[in-house]
Structure 1
Amino acid sequence: MASAAMVLALTTACGQDGGSATGSQNVGATAVPGAVGDIATGAGLGTGADGTQEPASPPEPAGKLSVSTNAEIGELVTDGTGRTLYRFDADTAEPPRATCENDCATAWPPVAAADALAGEGIDGELLGEVARPDGSKQLTIGGWPAYRYAKDTAAGDVKGQGVGGKWYALAADGRKAEAKEAAGLSTRDDPKLGEIVVDKNGMTVYRFMKDEAWPEPVSACTGACLEKWPVVEPVEPDDTEGVVKKDLMTFTRPDGAEQQTVDCRPIYTFAGDKKAGDTNGQGVGGTWYAVSPDGKPVGAPKK
């Protein structure tokens, strides 16, 4: 819940002015065998029937790399066939060092560097290579050796994510891919309404034309009205994207609850919107309208 300090930091009153890794290419580093351990975590070394270490399979080609988005993991790197690329915590990026060999490399095939191309979303300057013991060159991204996962059988699979607490999908900068938490308030481009404000769940945000903003916010939606039009709870100013921060504040409702405003106008969601992207509340009763980034009602009749 936003504090009074947050409100004061943004605006002293409605209408007044308020507050409003790069890496380098690494070529030719020497790979170092990993320690004996569990194949599932990628630390095991394979041995032949005579007790000698078995040779590793040569890396498979990478093709044209690109960035894909997974709903749970976020943006990650895929190879030319759409297969997810991974990194291993036991490896190092400075200098590049690959520790997954033999049995491990069977479960986690290394990606060849020779034909790797930087596609959309990939910085070619972050692509490099590391030499493996068999003389083959493994692709590195941001210094991290890149692998596939044998159990990923189709483009878009991410079955290797988090395996053994050491394997993670690669982000375009070489870091671990992780989903970015949506901002408390942001904007999206609606095909009919244009740019409108949405909450952290992607639900459309609305204004009630009977509310007041000056000299301070007042909500005319009370009682049963709130069952259809739930209030948007307070959002930290830094937890917004694309929304004008001037007069972005909260106020206390008569029931003691805090409600968020945009341009000092109270904002709500609509119970009739069942999924992100719905705009079923637009124009309801001639008094409810989606909100533009500056707080204006989208599509409302001009007075």
Structure 2
Amino acid sequence: MKTWRSASLAATAAALLVLTTACGQEDKGGGSTDGGQPVGAAKPARPDGGYGDYGSGGGTERGTAAKPAGRLAVRDIPELGKVLTDSAGFTLYRFDRDTASPPRSRCEGDCAKAWPVVAAEGATAPSGAGPGLLGSVARADGGSQLTVAGWPVYRYAEDTRAGEAKGQGVGGTWFAAAPDGGKAGGAGATPTGGPGGYGTGGAPSRDSGSGSGSDRAEPVGLPGLSTRKDPKLGEIVVDREGMTVYRFLKDSAWPMRTACTGECLEKWPVVAPVNKNDTKGILKKGFVTFARPDGIKQQTIDCWPLYTFAGDRGPGETNGQGVGGTWFAVTPQGKAVGTAK
């Protein structure tokens, strides 16, 4: 009896170890490329439900405190046209995942290191601007950030000289600000918010993409991860902003590895860790945090790493479905929609 009990306990312990290792928690090699080699450095985390969209400047300390802009100016930059700058000539940017009505910033923590926020205090409008162009928004850290036509504005840590605009188009979500608060270079959306002296603007087009889904409204009070019924894909997982969650078929759950690194993360930001109690309708088996070898922590379902897509501009969009034949929306059980995996 004693021998049988010892053997049974040993077998149970071994099974648990296999499960843990298979889910990647004991796999010190972490993620891999297609060739099975450890991944290299990747982009830093963002706090609004995923990681990425930052560019390569996330590790700097330049943006740890908001800096004043002084009197704003308008500058002509080749290929972009007229761009709004601070008094020192540095390009100002806006983030598609922010909102202008009401003003709201979703760039905090490491994001604000790559994209230093512009302090509202002491900022004055450029010559010729209307009185309502500039405003401010209170940040979660207690600071006050400058807004242009309602949009929070930032600098980019990789711009080291006046007149540079290296942040244009980063992650498909960051764009230089036009003088009226819209996107410079004909990149699309025009702003909402207070009137400016550079045009009337219009409604924001954050949710105007071509992906499927009809619920374009800004979600309120969603859990960290939940589900929604997509008219084409069925029940799929969404993050706390209602953005579609995806899986990459080149990843692995057994053992847990990632093939999306570096520039890949600019298009496919990882889903940040979510408390298991902050979910609704999601499979809890294998609901663990993946400690990637690049230092990013990523949420999984059934041990599969989860991502969002920078090409989805608003809730209800599924522009990432089927991209490259390797990216697919996720079912509540962690399956890739439309595949057998």
TM-score (norm 1): 0.43
Larger Rg: 1
* Structure 2 length-normalised TM: 0.38
